[in-house]
Amino acid sequence: MTTHTIGIIMNGVTGRMGTHQHLMRSLVAIRNEGGLRLNDREAILPEPVLVGRNADKLAALAAQAGGVRWTTDLDSALADAANTVYFDAQLTRLRVPAVEKAIAAGKHVYCEKPTATNTEDALNLYRRAVAAGVKHGVVQDKLWLPGLRKLKQLIDSGFFGEILSVRGEFGYWVFTGGDPSEGGDGMPPQRPSWNYRQEEGGGIIVDMLCHWRYVLDNLFGNVQAVSCLGATHVKRRWDEGGKPYESTADDAAYATFQLESGIIAQFNSSWCVRVRRDDLLTLQVDGTKGSAVAGLRDCVIQPAVLTPRPVWNPDIPSPIRYTDGWTTVPPNIAFDNAFKAQWELFLRHVAADAPFPWDLHEAAKGVQLAECGLRSWRERAWVAVPELPR
């Protein structure tokens, strides 16, 4: 067995998502499995190199990951010819200059989304990568969630007939922090404070509309127009040091999308909602022959022949238990971690030139939709989403 070792610079993975999803549950998991098999004779062994600003955090995380390399000097990591891939999970506002530097160093690049704070910068990253001849990709993890993969199987099988609409509900209550005597809720926030500062690249529209773009494009049809209303519902929060600050970024978004397929999609995204649904994300798809509701892991269906016949009567309790009329899609396939699944595809792309359509151009489309959503909110109008040039 020939093992191809690929050095992967991982910049900004000391945060929650970078540590758990990209490092431990993806690359370390692949290493623990003995590498990613390409065929009967070859395997890929990823070798992470952690990069960041805090040496103590890096050293502790490197030890947790099994003694991988780490450095606070990005330039030295880029100068090492053994490192052929650059991965970026930094704050969005820091991403563009770091990725440009990696491309200039001839590294293949893989990025968290959004890849930039505006469409032109995101497109420029794509153009630079193409001009440099390096391979490139963006994290679009929700496509590999078990619930959405089951939904894709239903779509491909023709279960829905003609799909009419999609309704997405995403979010949860993010605690404000702060002492109750000062107006806080006394609970530590689950998200970093920069998420609620527009000047630091925060905001749920910038964050989540990038996700909804690739989910809609890949499952239901390309987005052609958007109507979006944002809101900053919680005006005051407390940061990691316990200091109060005023929220300047949107913490909720209410968006409607028109797709080229004729489907209408509506997505509510909020960090100010208490969950009373099956999961933190649910997608309801209604078609002429049946409906489905997918969460992160599970998916339930109701075909046309089992659809109940409600009659509106508010004066008596409903005789129909609506949740009983749905059937769970069985777990016929074992689905791996969504981030790990896409990492494996990107590693195959780098090592064996396997197809990988989720490139930096796709990333720019997500940034574009976020910008169109912000414009729609600002102008109180529908905004067309034109095709991005390649």
- CB neighbour class for 312 (10 Å; exposed up to 12, middle 13-18, buried from 19): exposed
The pLDDT of residue 48 is: 98
For 221-249, what is each residue's pLDDT tens digit? 999 999 999 999 999 999 999 999 999 99
The pLDDT of residue 256 is: 98
Shared-domain flag, residues 63 and 198: no
Mean pLDDT computed over 189-202: 94
Q: Return d(Cα 291, Cα 13) in angstroms, integer.
A: 39
CATH number at residue 95: 3.40.50.720
Instruction: Look at residue 270 and tell me if it is in a domain.
Output: yes
Shared-domain flag, residues 172 and 87: no
- CB neighbour class for 212 (10 Å; exposed up to 12, middle 13-18, buried from 19): buried
The pLDDT of residue 239 is: 96
For 352-370, what is each residue's pLDDT tens digit? 999 999 999 999 999 999 9
Beta bridge partners of 228: 255
Instruction: Look at residue 238 and tell me if it is in a domain.
Output: yes
Q: Return d(Cα 49, Cα 52) in angstroms, integer.
A: 10
Q: Return d(Cα 185, Cα 347) in angstroms, integer.
A: 44
Mean pLDDT computed over 92-116: 97
Angle at 268 between CA 188 and CA 373, to 5 degrees: 105
Instruction: Look at residue 207 and tell me if it is in a domain.
Output: yes
Shared-domain flag, residues 354 and 373: no
Shared-domain flag, residues 273 and 135: no
The pLDDT of residue 2 is: 87
Instruction: Look at residue 389 and tell me if it is in a domain.
Output: no
Domain span holding position 21: 2-141+338-359
How many domains does the structure of the chain reveal? 2
For 273-298, what is each residue's pLDDT tens digit? 999 999 999 999 999 999 999 999 99
Residue % of the chain over a pLDDT of 70:
100
The pLDDT of residue 333 is: 85
Shared-domain flag, residues 128 and 162: no
Instruction: Look at residue 189 and tell me if it is in a domain.
Output: yes
- Residue 332 clears pLDDT 90, i.e. is over it: no
State both tokens at 272.
């100010």
Query: Do the beta carbons of residue 234 and residue 243 sit within 8 Å?
Result: no
- CB neighbour class for 261 (10 Å; exposed up to 12, middle 13-18, buried from 19): middle
CATH number at residue 255: 3.30.360.10
Shared-domain flag, residues 112 and 188: no
Shared-domain flag, residues 355 and 371: no
- Residue 331 clears pLDDT 90, i.e. is over it: no
Q: How many CB atoms lie within 10 A of CB 322?
A: 10
For 370-390, what is each residue's pLDDT tens digit? 999 999 999 999 999 999 998
Q: Return d(Cα 207, Cα 201) in angstroms, integer.
A: 9
Mean pLDDT computed over 248-253: 98
Mean pLDDT computed over 175-204: 94
Distances (CA, A) of 305 to 223, 326, 345: 31, 12, 39
Residue % of the chain over a pLDDT of 90:
95
The pLDDT of residue 1 is: 75
Shared-domain flag, residues 201 and 171: yes
Shared-domain flag, residues 111 and 237: no
Shared-domain flag, residues 130 and 161: no
Shared-domain flag, residues 292 and 154: yes
Run of H or E including 359? none
Residue type at 84 in one-letter notation: T
Shared-domain flag, residues 315 and 348: no
State both tokens at 317.
């309790």
Structure confidence at residue 33 as a pLDDT band (50, 70, 90): very high
Instruction: Look at residue 390 and tell me if it is in a domain.
Output: no
Instruction: Look at residue 128 and tell me if it is in a domain.
Output: yes
The pLDDT of residue 191 is: 95
For 43-90, what is each residue's pLDDT tens digit? 999 999 999 999 999 999 999 999 999 999 999 999 999 999 999 999
The pLDDT of residue 134 is: 98
